[in-house]
A and B are shown apart, each in its own frame.
Chain A
Amino acid sequence: MNPFSSGTRLRDMIRAIRTCKTAAEERAVVRKECAAIRAAVSDNDQEYRHRNLAKLMFIHMLGYPTHFGQMECLKLIASSGFPEKRIGYLGLMLLLDERQEVLMLVTNSLKQDLNHSNQYIVGLALCALGNICSAEMARDLAPEVERLLQSRDPNIKKKAALCSIRIIRKVPDLSENFMSPAAALLKEKHHGVLITGVQLCTDLCKASPEALEYLRKNCTEGSVRILKDISNSSYAPEYDISGIADPFLHIRVLKLMRMLGQGDADASDSINDILAQVATKIESNKNAGNAILYECVETIMGIEATSGLRILAINILGRFLSNRDNNIRYVALNMLMRSVVVDSQAMQRHRATILECVKDSDASIRKRALELVCLLVNDTNVKPLTKELIDYLEVSEEEFKGDLTEKICSIVERFSTEKLWYIDQMLKILSEAGSHVKDEVWHSLIVVISNAADLQGYTVRSLYKALQTSSSQIGLARVALWCIGEYGEMLVNGACMLAAEEPVTVTESDAVDIVEVALKCHSSDITTRAMSLIALLKLSSRFPPTSERITELIMQNKGNLELELQQRSIEFSNIILKHKNIKTSLVERMPVLDESTYMGRKEVSSQDVPAVKTSKTAPSEALLNLPNGVKKPPAVYMGDLLDLSSDDVPATKPSTNDFLQDLLGDLAVPVSSGAPLSGGSDILMDLLSIGSPIQNDSSLSNSVSTGAVNSSAVSSLASLSSLTSPSISVSPEASIVDPLRGMDQIKRQPPSTAPIVDLMDGLSNHVVSVAGSEKLDFLPITAFENNSLKTVFSFTKFPGRPQVTQIKATFTNKSLNSYTDFIFQAAVPKVH
């Protein structure tokens, strides 16, 4: 006898483990038992083998390694007695799975047991096979299982049927062999055999199209008959669940019917009646009945059912929705979601109920209902639905607000038909849940506002009011700051008053106050503060009387620990103090942001627009269709400069400006004083391209490369390829575009002055395009001229595509010589 062998019974071991107070104690007991079992294994102990394996299974359940017991299972399976085999198979299923190679060793034992004369042993083998068989075993043992499907014992039959399911799942090719035995099973009376047989048929339909065809022919009637029989059968306590005879069988048959009727009118025809009968007859006051109804509805939606039947199904779901049980409502919402494509008309009738579910206390129901509501939105109901949702946003739980906000925003963006409504809804959302609003959403709001000239006054005043009441909403604060900076004067003078608008009196210092609050508020993040700084800078020129106070506010941040804020405030105070002459134009209102460009970019970047194919209008179209009050000058490049997806949008502009200014030293940047609206932007562009608008009478000390341009054509063209120095080339006489810049633009030409040419850089998405001009007809320009070569650019715009400009270059040979190997090279900056 082995000294380690404890010989404790299974019950004693479990008790010993349960009495352990600590994990260490438990480990000690398990270690001792494992050592004893190991010793018994190496002794090849026969007597206690099955007891040891049972212990090992318990140890396995506790999570300890037990691989050394695997061979014991095989030995037990190979023994002759039923109790040994039973524990052996149990261990096999618990300790091994289909991926272990050891399993192959058991194939032979399984084969023998499948052919055993004792039906219980056959049952054990079938059970093990069904639970863990691998593809190879499935191939090897399929004939045995097929034979057992025709056995006389119902217990064997049902196990064999489920085994067959496992086999055809592993090896779909084998499904052919099982078609006719499966069909035969449906004629049985035993419920176990029926339910497994029906399940086998369902799986066969999934596995192979031929089987589906075969079963459609041979089983459609059979399944109808089964359903009739059980629903008409008398009370049988054995199968009765809350007054319904075998709901499980009901459900399985309905599922099979779905497979058979899907896409086949004839089969659907023959099951329509029984479906109607089930749908009307089953009581829906218990879970079992509801489970059947649920399956029935799904089948009706899945097959080619009559429209009457569909309405019946949708009504059942409507009843589910008003059920008090959360489970029932949850499945109803799920089901409605799946069938929304089938019949959205009927679904609309339950809109009110679904909307109620959005407000449910159970998170999973809320989530489903919200998704469903988004699917139900269309042009006609968008306004009341949005109103309901926004109203709910006020009272909803904090953790649900994120989801809800996202969905409302997507609905509003997708379905808005008028700008005023869109802006109003967005303002409401921002003031309720501004912190949950994603960046893209408020970015596109700004784009819309900048395009709606007639609504800017109203918007900025509403934002001002909203910010006063809910200043902690980050999204709201940012949009409001941006708008106050841009349209500050409209806030004060009450321009563009809408008819329904309540007048509000805001003084200039009120406006500065609110920005100051945002700047100093603890809850504001860096981006918001940075935006406040810009708003202040802008206001300092809009409201000259407050200028001093603003300067002070900006100065306060000069020592800010945040680099971004510090840098900005230093730059801005420099602009205010040292560059008074250009400040006005620097802080001009932003040019209108081009919606199509912005939307196009957004589309590209976010391909994960809600996967709703039913909506007719894509988001971009919806916005583009907005009636637009202003003429849209092509402002493509501005979109690029301002790239709204970057962290701090409008900030880029002045700060870069200032930075460049510093770079350029005290270079005077001449600006015509009566700069039109977009003048600021022009300057901005110029600065960004490290050039400056040069009037022909200005004397520039650092102008370079004029000579280069005027030198021989060859050298000039050669220099095109070497983009090394950011030189500013100027021709004193006429309009010459620096070839180094690659891009050119004609600026608005004041009648009094000579043509000014800007040096534009990186301004377009297209290789050849000119942006920023408001007129569609352009004068051709002489890009280059010397004694031997003249280059003239002429421009054409296409009416429908304002972003694209065609440039035609004409080269004229003025010399007597003929040119050969003429190469024209254009350098175009890369636009991201």
Chain B
Amino acid sequence: MIRFILLQNRQGKTRLAKYYVPLEESEKHKVEYEVHRLVVNRDPKFTNFVEFRTHKVIYRRYAGLFFSMCVDITDNELAYLECIHLFVEILDHFFSNVCELDLVFNFNKVYLILDEFILAGELQETSKKVRFLLKFY
């Protein structure tokens, strides 16, 4: 199960944070800070998986943006790596050539897309077609 999803830029600004487990606000900020610290300094040759407390973080970097998912220790890392990529592809389709600014100005849409993609910490839809997103605007 996915515990949380974070979208952060290299400076550590959180562009999207979705928690599927309840956390205190202060704890959330701490988690965001720690995850950023963990992933930002890793060599690109290294694995995309980092152990984080009792879970693990699967991250992937797209330009200056880090997509991180915190999942259970027994989950399939490679599958979540693919999952991140699918999410990025969907965003790319929707915004046609997505960039960080799109995500900043349309943060509410990003959340809505994410809600159509992942629900209750589980994958909901694997179709790449943006058809199911068209009802938004």
B20 proximity list for chain A (CB < 8 A): 131
A84 at interface (Cβ–Cβ under 8 A)? no
A649 at interface (Cβ–Cβ under 8 A)? no
In the bound assembly, the distance between CA atoms of A787 and B33 in angstroms comes to: 85
> If A192-B125, A239-B127 touch, does A287 touch B108 (CB 8 Å cutoff)?
no
Q: Are B76 and A295 neighbours in the complex by a CB distance under 8 Å?
A: yes
A327 at interface (Cβ–Cβ under 8 A)? yes
Q: Which of B23, B46, B111, B123 has a CB less than 8 Å from the CB of A326?
A: B46
In the bound assembly, the distance between CA atoms of A295 and B49 in angstroms comes to: 17
* Chain B positions 101 through 125: 1 when the CB is less than 8 Å from some CB of chain A, otherwise 0: 0001101100110010001101111
Q: Are A248 and B77 neighbours in the complex by a CB distance under 8 Å?
A: no
Most chain B beta-carbon contacts within 10 A, residue among A11, A58, A130, A132: A130
Q: Are A61 and B107 neighbours in the complex by a CB distance under 8 Å?
A: yes
B95 proximity list for chain A (CB < 8 A): none
* Chain B positions 47 through 78: 1 when the CB is less than 8 Å from some CB of chain A, otherwise 0: 11111000000000000000000000000111
> If A159-B124, A196-B124, A364-B49 touch, does A287 touch B104 (CB 8 Å cutoff)?
no
Closest to B131 in A: A238
Contacting residues of chain A (287-307) with chain B, CB-CB under 8 angstroms: 287-288, 290-291, 294-295, 298
Q: Are B19 and A14 neighbours in the complex by a CB distance under 8 Å?
A: no
In the bound assembly, the distance between CA atoms of A247 and B76 in angstroms comes to: 12
A191 at interface (Cβ–Cβ under 8 A)? yes
Most chain A beta-carbon contacts within 10 A, residue among B83, B104, B119, B135: B119
Q: Are A18 and B104 neighbours in the complex by a CB distance under 8 Å?
A: yes
In the bound assembly, the distance between CA atoms of A249 and B123 in angstroms comes to: 10
A478 at interface (Cβ–Cβ under 8 A)? no
B125 proximity list for chain A (CB < 8 A): 158, 191-192, 195
A337 at interface (Cβ–Cβ under 8 A)? no
**Shortest Cβ distance from residue B133 to the other chain A in the assembled complex, whole angstroms:** 12
In the bound assembly, the distance between CA atoms of A251 and B86 in angstroms comes to: 15
B77 proximity list for chain A (CB < 8 A): 327, 330-331
Closest to B73 in A: A334
> If A131-B115, A192-B127 touch, does A241 touch B22 (CB 8 Å cutoff)?
no
A18 proximity list for chain B (CB < 8 A): 104
Q: Are A248 and B126 neighbours in the complex by a CB distance under 8 Å?
A: yes
Q: Are A120 and B126 neighbours in the complex by a CB distance under 8 Å?
A: no
Q: Which of B43, B107, B119 has a CB less than 8 Å from the CB of A58?
A: B107
Closest to B109 in A: A90
Q: Are A291 and B82 neighbours in the complex by a CB distance under 8 Å?
A: yes
Q: Are B112 and A90 neighbours in the complex by a CB distance under 8 Å?
A: yes
Closest to B78 in A: A291
In the bound assembly, the distance between CA atoms of A11 and B107 in angstroms comes to: 11
B37 at interface (Cβ–Cβ under 8 A)? no
A683 at interface (Cβ–Cβ under 8 A)? no
B135 proximity list for chain A (CB < 8 A): 120
B17 at interface (Cβ–Cβ under 8 A)? yes
Q: Which of A159, A290, A330 has a CB less than 8 Å from the CB of B47?
A: A330
A14 proximity list for chain B (CB < 8 A): 104-105
Q: Are B82 and A248 neighbours in the complex by a CB distance under 8 Å?
A: yes
B15 proximity list for chain A (CB < 8 A): 61
Closest to B111 in A: A90
Closest to A362 in B: B46
B108 proximity list for chain A (CB < 8 A): 54, 57, 87, 90
Q: Which of A11, A61, A362, A363 has a CB less than 8 Å from the CB of B17?
A: A61
A710 at interface (Cβ–Cβ under 8 A)? no
Q: Are A163 and B120 neighbours in the complex by a CB distance under 8 Å?
A: yes
B82 proximity list for chain A (CB < 8 A): 241, 247-248, 287-288, 291
Q: Are B126 and A192 neighbours in the complex by a CB distance under 8 Å?
A: yes
B81 proximity list for chain A (CB < 8 A): 287, 291, 327
> If A248-B126, A361-B45, A364-B47 touch, does A159 touch B119 (CB 8 Å cutoff)?
yes
* Chain B positions 5 through 18: 1 when the CB is less than 8 Å from some CB of chain A, otherwise 0: 00000000011110
A461 at interface (Cβ–Cβ under 8 A)? no
* Chain A positions 668 through 691: 1 when the CB is less than 8 Å from some CB of chain B, otherwise 0: 000000000000000000000000
A411 proximity list for chain B (CB < 8 A): none
A54 proximity list for chain B (CB < 8 A): 108
Closest to A325 in B: B47
In the bound assembly, the distance between CA atoms of A132 and B21 in angstroms comes to: 8
In the bound assembly, the distance between CA atoms of A239 and B129 in angstroms comes to: 9
Q: Which of A131, A158, A199, A327 has a CB less than 8 Å from the CB of B48?
A: A327
A361 proximity list for chain B (CB < 8 A): 45
How many chain A residues touch B (CB < 8 A): the figure is 62
Q: Are A97 and B22 neighbours in the complex by a CB distance under 8 Å?
A: yes
A63 at interface (Cβ–Cβ under 8 A)? yes
Closest to B29 in A: A63
Most chain A beta-carbon contacts within 10 A, residue among B15, B51, B77, B132: B77
Q: Which of A11, A57, A191, A291 has a CB less than 8 Å from the CB of B79?
A: A291
A371 at interface (Cβ–Cβ under 8 A)? no
B126 proximity list for chain A (CB < 8 A): 191-192, 195, 239, 246, 248-249
In the bound assembly, the distance between CA atoms of A191 and B107 in angstroms comes to: 28
A155 at interface (Cβ–Cβ under 8 A)? yes
Closest to B125 in A: A192
B83 proximity list for chain A (CB < 8 A): 248
A90 proximity list for chain B (CB < 8 A): 108, 111-112, 115
A93 proximity list for chain B (CB < 8 A): 111, 115
Closest to A82 in B: B135
B129 proximity list for chain A (CB < 8 A): 238
Closest to B126 in A: A248
A98 at interface (Cβ–Cβ under 8 A)? yes
Q: Are B119 and A162 neighbours in the complex by a CB distance under 8 Å?
A: yes
Q: Which of A94, A166, A255 has a CB less than 8 Å from the CB of B120?
A: A166
Q: Are B19 and A199 neighbours in the complex by a CB distance under 8 Å?
A: no
Closest to A120 in B: B135
Contacting residues of chain A (347-401) with chain B, CB-CB under 8 angstroms: 361-365
A58 proximity list for chain B (CB < 8 A): 107
In the bound assembly, the distance between CA atoms of A86 and B82 in angstroms comes to: 29
Q: Are B47 and A326 neighbours in the complex by a CB distance under 8 Å?
A: yes
A238 proximity list for chain B (CB < 8 A): 127-129
A531 at interface (Cβ–Cβ under 8 A)? no
A490 proximity list for chain B (CB < 8 A): none
Q: Are A165 and B112 neighbours in the complex by a CB distance under 8 Å?
A: no
Most chain A beta-carbon contacts within 10 A, residue among B17, B120, B132: B120
In the bound assembly, the distance between CA atoms of A196 and B129 in angstroms comes to: 18
**Shortest Cβ distance from residue A638 to the other chain B in the assembled complex, whole angstroms:** 45
Contacting residues of chain A (73-116) with chain B, CB-CB under 8 angstroms: 86-87, 90, 93-94, 97-99
Q: Are B120 and A251 neighbours in the complex by a CB distance under 8 Å?
A: no
A127 at interface (Cβ–Cβ under 8 A)? yes
Closest to A363 in B: B46
Closest to A89 in B: B115
Q: Are A162 and B111 neighbours in the complex by a CB distance under 8 Å?
A: no
Closest to B48 in A: A327
In the bound assembly, the distance between CA atoms of A130 and B115 in angstroms comes to: 10
A365 proximity list for chain B (CB < 8 A): 47
**Shortest Cβ distance from residue B119 to the other chain A in the assembled complex, whole angstroms:** 4
**Shortest Cβ distance from residue B40 to the other chain A in the assembled complex, whole angstroms:** 16
**Shortest Cβ distance from residue B34 to the other chain A in the assembled complex, whole angstroms:** 15
A94 proximity list for chain B (CB < 8 A): 111
In the bound assembly, the distance between CA atoms of A249 and B49 in angstroms comes to: 22
Closest to A130 in B: B120
Closest to B77 in A: A331
Further 9 A-B residue pairs, CB within 8 A, beyond A58-B107, A195-B124: A97-B19, A99-B22, A127-B115, A127-B119, A162-B124, A238-B128, A255-B76, A363-B46, A364-B47
Q: Which 4 A-B pairs have the closest CB atoms?
A: A291-B78, A130-B120, A97-B22, A166-B120
A sample of 15 cross-chain residue pairs with beta-carbon separation below 8 angstroms, ordered by A number, consists of A14-B104, A54-B108, A58-B107, A94-B111, A127-B115, A158-B124, A162-B119, A195-B124, A195-B126, A238-B129, A239-B126, A241-B82, A291-B78, A362-B46, A364-B47
A residues contacting B by CB (< 8 A) are 11, 14, 18, 54, 57-58, 61, 63, 86-87, 90, 93-94, 97-99, 120, 126-127, 130-132, 155, 158-159, 162-163, 165-166, 191-192, 195-196, 199, 237-239, 241, 246-249, 251-252, 255, 287-288, 290-291, 294-295, 298, 326-328, 330-331, 361-365
